[in-house]
Amino acid sequence: MIGRVDQTFFVYKLSSSPKIVLKVVKQCVGTDGVEMPHVKTVILGEFFKAYWNRGMALNRRNYKQLVQTTVEIAQKVGGSEIINNIVEDLRDENESYRNVNKFG
């Protein structure tokens, strides 16, 4: 049941409140009862599909929360998992997007 609830957060990526969704994901991931394997298998892939793209990363209203949420996830699953997901984005032709991928 928890897996289903986590995945529904990402359905709302096109809503007017992605900053709120990112904050909720950050809080959920940071909760003591949420284990690393769960974050890795249920949240990580969907999070990067929904939020790590040019539009979200370059949106000044959301970018800080995006970085903070990513850092929280990295603390739970390890930095190497995050690097594996953003390594291609570090080669993007848009300099501003590359800089966001260096965590702002």
Mean pLDDT per 10-residue interval, the chain, length 104 residues: 49 65 92 93 89 78 88 94 81 68 58
In terms of residue numbers, what domain contains 51?
2-101
Residue 103, by phi and psi: left (phi above 0), alpha (psi -120 to 50) or beta? left
Name every residue whose Cβ is closer than 8 Å to that of residue 88 and which is 6 or more positions away in sequence. Answer: none
**For position 60, what pLDDT does the model report?**
79
Number of domains in the chain: 1
**pTM for this predicted structure:** 0.76
On whether the CB atoms of residues 61 and 100 are closer than 8 A, the answer is no
**For position 52, what pLDDT does the model report?**
82
**For position 5, what pLDDT does the model report?**
46
